[in-house]
Structure formats: structure tokens, C-alpha cells
């Protein structure tokens, strides 16, 4: 296993179990960036946001309810897609999400704010690259999904033109991207399998290059390393099926 895959799969430090809310002693770095983050969707990111939304809208009919977004942020995607509930570690972003009608809870993706088998679909939209332990977050999503549930990821994969741009910005200490780690498609696919999921559908979009986005795009039903944004839908494997897969059966 390479170094990036080991980082993707590392386990989190123990965290407290939540009720409806958790009072934190530490602030999220996105608390001070909340206004700038949210403004992006109305300014330079407006067309990019519309392109990404179109890809998600292609898969919505496949997804059982109720829906949860992990890393709901300011609620832009949740509001546009009809996701009712979200969690996020940023108080300031949650305030924005709640104003957009989202039922928001202060929590991280690897914590356990909900009972097992609560949701039909869990969304992680540009979230996996910002969490401390992606595999732990995927495993928690598996725990709270009902039988037959789905996980939906929205990702920028390492090696794409957009990831190269963001990684360059990270090296320069960019206020958002300095917190991000980008993974390959295979690393994410392996982690989904380890967490108990089987990939069912992949859509690629945002083929226009950074700083050259001029028009809407329709997503393509395949993985493309040239795409700036990928939507991955994976189904929950029942516990028995997961054990059999681990044994190679």
C-alpha cells in the first residue's frame, strides 16, 4: 500500500458520541472563512456549481430517502438537491445552512450523531478531501445507512487538471486548499470497498480547463481522469456480504 493510501485509510482518534449537538472547545478553520466560501457559489464558482449540480441531478432518482449530507457547509448543494439534513464541524457554515432550510447538526463525519440504519442515502460533496480520516467517515456512513442504502461522493481526483491547480494553491498556502488532500480514483475505490460499499455508477463532468469555464456541460457516464469533477454512487453491502467479500467468497 502506498503512502497516500495509508493516509486515506488511517483510523481517527476517539471522539465523543453526540446527541443532537456538541459544544466544541476548538473552532473549525472554516468558521473564519465561511463568508468567502459561501460567496464563491454566487461569484466565480457560479457556473462550476451549476455543472456539478447537473451531474448530481442525474443520479437523484436512484437514491432512497431520507438523505443526509456529511460536510453540508453553507447548505448550497443540500438546498439545490433537496437534502433535508446535514452535519458540519463549522458553526458559522451551519448557521448559513439552517437559514437555507437545512436541519443541521454540529458534528464531524467520523462521529456518531445518529442511530444505525437511519438514512437511505449519505452525500459527501467535496468533503472527503478535507476530513482527517476518510475511511472512518466512510465506515460511519455505512453504519447509519439502511439496508439497500447508497453513498454519493462528489470528488476532485488527484491527477486531473483541476486537482493540479488546487494542489499548487495548497503549496502556496491557499486559505481553503491548504487543508485539502486529493486522492486517486483507485484509492477511493479501495476505501469504499474496505468500508463495505460496491460502486454502482460513476459520472464525470467539468472537462473545461481551469479559468476557461464558459458554458454548461452534460456529465458522461464513466470515470475520466481529465474530468474536474466526479460523482460516485456506491451501494451498501450487507454485513454478511461484506464478510464474504473480505474472505474472497
- Give all domains of the chain, ordered by start, each with its CATH number: 3-8+45-246 (3.40.50.150)
Task: Name residues whose C-beta falls within 8 Å of residue 15's C-beta, 6 or more positions apart in sequence.
Answer: 108, 110, 111
pTM of the model: 0.86
State the DSSP H helix or E strand holding residue 123, giving kind and residue range, or none if neither.
Answer: strand 119-125
Low-confidence ranges of the chain (pLDDT < 50): 1-25, 243-249
Predicted local confidence at residue 29, as pLDDT: 78
CB 157 within 8 A of CB 183: yes
State the DSSP H helix or E strand holding residue 37, giving kind and residue range, or none if neither.
Answer: helix 34-40
Predicted local confidence at residue 26, as pLDDT: 62
CB 226 within 8 A of CB 160: yes
Predicted local confidence at residue 241, as pLDDT: 63
Cα(155)–Cα(223) distance, integer angstroms: 11
CB 184 within 8 A of CB 158: yes
β 229-236/197-205 pair status? antiparallel
C-alpha cell at 199: 460502486
Predicted local confidence at residue 240, as pLDDT: 62
Cα(222)–Cα(203) distance, integer angstroms: 5
Cα(133)–Cα(200) distance, integer angstroms: 23
Long-range residue pairs from 39-45, CB within 8 A, at least 24 positions apart, any chain: 41/74, 41/76
Amino acid at each position: 500500500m502506498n503512502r497516500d493510501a495509508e493516509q486515506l485509510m488511517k483510523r481517527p482518534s476517539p471522539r465523543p458520541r453526540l446527541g443532537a449537538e456538541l459544544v466544541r472547545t476548538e473552532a473549525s478553520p472554516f468558521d473564519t472563512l465561511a463568508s468567502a466560501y459561501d460567496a464563491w457559489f454566487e461569484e466565480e464558482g457560479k457556473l462550476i456549481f451549476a455543472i456539478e449540480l447537473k451531474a448530481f441531478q442525474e443520479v437523484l432518482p436512484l437514491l432512497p430517502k431520507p438523505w443526509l449530507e456529511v460536510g453540508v457547509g453553507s447548505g448550497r448543494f443540500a438546498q439545490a438537491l433537496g437534502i433535508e439534513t446535514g452535519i458540519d464541524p463549522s458553526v458559522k457554515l451551519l448557521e448559513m445552512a439552517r437559514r437555507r432550510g437545512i436541519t443541521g447538526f454540529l458534528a464531524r463525519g467520523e462521529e456518531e450523531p445518529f442511530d444505525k440504519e437511519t438514512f437511505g442515502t449519505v452525500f459527501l460533496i467535496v468533503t472527503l478531501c478535507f476530513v482527517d480520516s476518510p475511511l472512518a467517515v466512510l465506515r460511519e456512513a455505512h453504519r447509519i445507512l439502511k439496508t439497500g442504502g447508497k453513498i454519493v461522493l462528489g470528488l476532485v481526483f488527484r491527477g486531473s487538471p483541476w486537482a493540479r491547480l488546487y494542489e499548487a494553491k495548497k503549496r502556496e498556502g491557499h486559505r481553503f486548499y491548504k487543508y485539502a488532500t486529493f486522492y486517486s480514483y483507485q484509492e477511493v475505490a479501495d476505501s469504499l470497498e474496505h468500508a463495505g460499499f460496491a460502486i454502482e455508477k460513476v459520472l464525470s463532468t467539468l472537462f473545461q480547463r481551469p479559468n476557461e469555464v464558459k458554458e454548461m456541460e452534460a456529465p458522461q457516464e464513466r470515470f475520466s481522469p481529465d474530468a474536474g469533477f466526479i460523482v460516485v454512487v456506491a451501494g451498501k453491502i450487507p454485513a454478511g456480504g461484506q464478510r464474504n467479500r473480505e474472505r474472497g467468497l
